[in-house]
Amino acid sequence: MPELPEVETIRRQLDEKISGLTITDVNFDVEKMFKGNKKDLIGSKIKSVNRRAKLLEVNLDNKNTILLHLKMTGQLLYNDKSSTDSYSGDPLPPLKTPIPNKSTHVTFSFDNGAVLYFNDLRKFGYVKILPTGDVEHSRIMSEFGPEPLDPKFGEEDFYARLQKRKGVKIKQLLLDQKFLAGVGNIYANESLYRAGINPSKKAGDLGREESNKLFHYIKKVLEIGIKAGGASDQTYVNAFGKKGKFMDFAKIYGKKGEICEFCGSKFERIALGGRGTFFCPTCQK
DNA sequence: CACTTGACCTGTCCGC
DNA sequence: TGCGGACAGGTCAAGT
- Number of separate helices (H) and strands (E) present in chain A: 7, 11
A3 is catalytic: yes
Residue A20 has pLDDT above 60, yes or no: yes
Report the protein residue whose CA lies nearest the C1' of nucleotide B12.
A234
Strands A126-131 and A34-35: parallel
Between the CA of A45 and the C1' of B8, what is the distance in angstroms? 33
* Chain B: bases < 7 Å from a protein Cβ: 2-11
Confidence class for position A139, pLDDT limits 50, 70, 90: confident
Between the CA of A176 and the C1' of B2, what is the distance in angstroms? 14
Between the CA of A178 and the C1' of C2, what is the distance in angstroms? 45
Confidence class for position A80, pLDDT limits 50, 70, 90: confident
Contact A148, A222 (CB under 8 A): yes
Q: How far apart are CA A184 and CA A279, in angstroms?
A: 16
A275 is catalytic: yes
A184 touches strand C (CB under 7 A): yes
Q: How far apart are CA A145 and CA A156, in angstroms?
A: 15
A124 touches strand C (CB under 7 A): yes
State percent of chain A over pLDDT 70.
93
Confidence class for position A50, pLDDT limits 50, 70, 90: very high
C-alpha distances in angstroms, A83 versus A86, A96, A99, A140?
9, 13, 16, 37
pLDDT of residue A98: 57
Provide the 10 A C-beta neighbour count for residue A134.
Answer: 12
pLDDT of residue A44: 98
Give the residue ranges with Cβ < 7 A from strand B. A 32, 102, 121-124, 165, 167-169, 172, 273-274
Residue A90 has pLDDT above 70, yes or no: no
Give mean pLDDT, residues A57-68: 97
Q: Three-state SS across A1-20?
A: CCCHHHHHHHHHHHHHHHCC
pLDDT of residue A96: 39
Between the CA of A274 and the C1' of C4, what is the distance in angstroms? 21
A6 is catalytic: no
Residue A254 has pLDDT above 90, yes or no: yes
Provide the 10 A C-beta neighbour count for residue A195.
Answer: 23
Q: Which of A54, A161, A171, A194 is catalytic?
A: A54
Confidence class for position A140, pLDDT limits 50, 70, 90: confident
Q: List, for residues A142-189, the tens digit of each pLDDT value.
A: 899 999 999 999 999 999 999 999 999 999 999 999 999 999 999 999
Q: Which of A3, A6, A8, A57 is catalytic?
A: A3
Q: Three-state SS across A14-77?
A: HHHHHCCCEEEEEEECCHHHEECCHHHCCCCEEEEEEEECCEEEEEECCCEEEEEECCCCEEEE
pLDDT of residue A82: 54
Strands of the sheet with A55-60, listed across from one edge: A34-35, A126-131, A64-69, A55-60, A46-52
pLDDT of residue A77: 95
pLDDT of residue A126: 97
pLDDT of residue A205: 94
pLDDT of residue A92: 38
What average pLDDT does chain A have?
A: 92
pLDDT of residue A149: 97
Q: How deeply is A212 buried, as exposed, middle or buried, from its count of CB atoms within 10 A (0-12, 13-18, 19+)?
A: middle
Between the CA of A175 and the C1' of C14, what is the distance in angstroms? 20
C-alpha distances in angstroms, A229 versus A16, A87, A163, A217?
15, 32, 33, 18
pLDDT of residue A89: 40
Residue A106's nearest CA partner among A51, A58, A177, A62 is A58
Confidence class for position A87, pLDDT limits 50, 70, 90: very low
Buried b / exposed e across A249-259, counting CB within 10 Å, b at 16+?
A: ebbbbbbeeee
Confidence class for position A97, pLDDT limits 50, 70, 90: very low
pLDDT of residue A93: 41
Confidence class for position A99, pLDDT limits 50, 70, 90: confident
Provide the 10 A C-beta neighbour count for residue A273.
Answer: 12
